[in-house]
Amino acid sequence: MSAQARLDALWKRGTEFLGTRYAILGGAMSWVSDRNLVAAISNAGGFGVLACGAMPPELLEKEILATQALTNKPFGVNLIVMHPRLDELVEVCGRIKVSHVVLAGGIPKNPTIHRLKELGAKTIAFAPSLAMGKRMARSGVEALVIEGSEAGGHIGPVSTSVLAQEILPNLTEVPVFVAGGIGRGEAVASYLEMGASGCQLGTRFVCATESIAHPNFKKAFIRAQARDAMPSVQIDKDFPVIPVRALTNHATQAFMEFQKSASARYRKGEVDKETAQLDIEHFWAGALRKAVIDGDVENGSLMAGQSVGMVTREQATQEIIDELVEQAVQYLEQKAPQKATREAPDKLRA
């Protein structure tokens, strides 16, 4: 079997579920994963995922229709389960015949999963642990993404490699896609060998030619090294902060100072605890847009995964995906002779 045929076999479950040539998903990144990048990923053989974020239903409908005008290939829509108008967003996806919906930002409720199934959409959700993954599979979720702490944006505490070892051998009921810190095809192939059905990459696509991210934002990614993408720090144990991995800049330090200020105001009795907590949570409101769209890379949020060090230049999306596939094939080709060498003595003994 050729290396290409081996790769096709390894991610067959993923490609059949997604309806794509390659089981490479584009991570849904707010302000970045719009119609242009999503369509480009799908047209290149991967699976683009549109980031709904805080969009109202009317805007989401326009963005889906605009994406459908740019590609006739399958793509998904990422919905945040905590969105106040989630039910309306679900109906929009059903009405426009979205083939796949990715439910993120929390544990999806059974009525949401069942309604999407009634509307004909396949559901994908994020599993932070083996137990939660099995629970969601029993609830009707048809595929899972396991995302490690190396990813950009909001992150959990466990690394991709550990999640993969914990979950892939023990959760086979549904396709599982691995995400977090993946920037090369060799890593994709290795996770496929462990039992993954495919992989999701976000940071790698930020500097795609088709990405609308501001040139300043892209330059920050191209200059950055893996160690520059750091999780945000919680200052006061009484005010929990969900860690966000981003490139360190002036805003990173400002966030820590703001936490100290909010905590101090609470302890002086100037505000109640709920107000102080909300102030902290709202600090980043608009900060990602400020960086991605406006190009303010000092005061905006530069959400990036640790794979940012592998982003070295602006490339067409097709070139990025072709490069990932070629690296995966070469990795499998290099392993084939080693396998043949190990098998030869066994045949002689037989």
- Say which residues have a Cβ less than 8 Å from residue 101's Cβ, sequence separation at least 6: 76, 77, 78, 79, 90, 93, 116, 121, 122, 123, 124
Percent of the chain with pLDDT over 70: 96
Query: pLDDT tens for residues 213-268?
Result: 999 999 999 999 999 999 998 999 999 888 899 999 999 989 999 999 999 999 99
97: region left, alpha or beta (phi > 0 left; psi from -120 to 50 alpha): left
Q: Which two tokens stand for residue 166?
A: 């914990």
Q: Which two tokens stand for residue 330?
A: 């070469």
Short-list 128, 120, 70, 127, CA closest to 100: 120
DSSP-derived 3-state class of residue 264: helix
* Angstrom distances, CA of residue 274 to CA of 185, 234, 270, 278: 46, 17, 12, 6
pLDDT at 342 over 90: no
DSSP-derived 3-state class of residue 80: strand
Average of per-residue pLDDT across 115-137: 97
Q: What is the pLDDT of residue 343?
A: 55
Cα separation of 123 and 142, whole Å? 5
Q: What is the pLDDT of residue 212?
A: 98
Cα separation of 73 and 68, whole Å? 8
pLDDT at 345 over 80: no
Q: What is the pLDDT of residue 339?
A: 57
Strand partners of residue 315: 208
Residue 22 C-alpha from the chain's centroid: 16
Q: What is the pLDDT of residue 183?
A: 97
pLDDT at 341 over 90: no
What b/e readout covers 326-349, taking b as 16+ CB neighbours within 10 angstroms? ebbbebbeeeeeeeeeeeeeeeee
Q: In what order do the strands lie in the sheet with 24-26?
A: 24-26, 198-201, 176-179, 143-147, 122-126, 100-104, 76-80, 49-51
pLDDT at 346 over 70: no
Query: pLDDT tens for residues 272-310?
Result: 999 999 888 888 878 999 999 999 999 999 999 999 999
124 backbone dihedrals φ, ψ, rounded to 5° = -125, 135
Q: What is the pLDDT of residue 152?
A: 96
Average of per-residue pLDDT across 82-88: 95
Helix H or strand E segment including 143: strand 143-147
Mean pLDDT of the chain: 94
Q: What is the pLDDT of residue 336?
A: 75
Query: pLDDT tens for residues 134-171?
Result: 999 999 999 999 999 999 998 999 999 999 999 999 99
Query: pLDDT tens for residues 173-210?
Result: 999 999 999 999 999 999 999 999 999 999 999 999 99
* Angstrom distances, CA of residue 119 to CA of 111, 112, 113, 143: 12, 11, 10, 17
Short-list 225, 218, 222, 173, CA closest to 195: 173
Residue 303 C-alpha from the chain's centroid: 12
Cα separation of 122 and 20, whole Å? 14
65-68: long-range contacts at Cβ-Cβ below 8 A with a sequence spacing of 24 or more?
Answer: 65/96, 66/35, 67/35, 67/38, 67/39, 68/96
Domains parsed from the chain with CATH numbers: 3-213+311-325 (3.20.20.70), 215-307 (no CATH)
Strand partners of residue 146: 178
* Angstrom distances, CA of residue 18 to CA of 73, 102, 140, 229, 261: 10, 12, 17, 30, 47
DSSP-derived 3-state class of residue 123: strand
Short-list 92, 18, 6, CA closest to 57: 92
- Say which residues have a Cβ less than 8 Å from residue 80's Cβ, sequence separation at least 6: 52, 53, 54, 86, 104, 105, 106
- In this structure, how many other beta carbons lie within 10 angstroms of the beta carbon of residue 5? 11
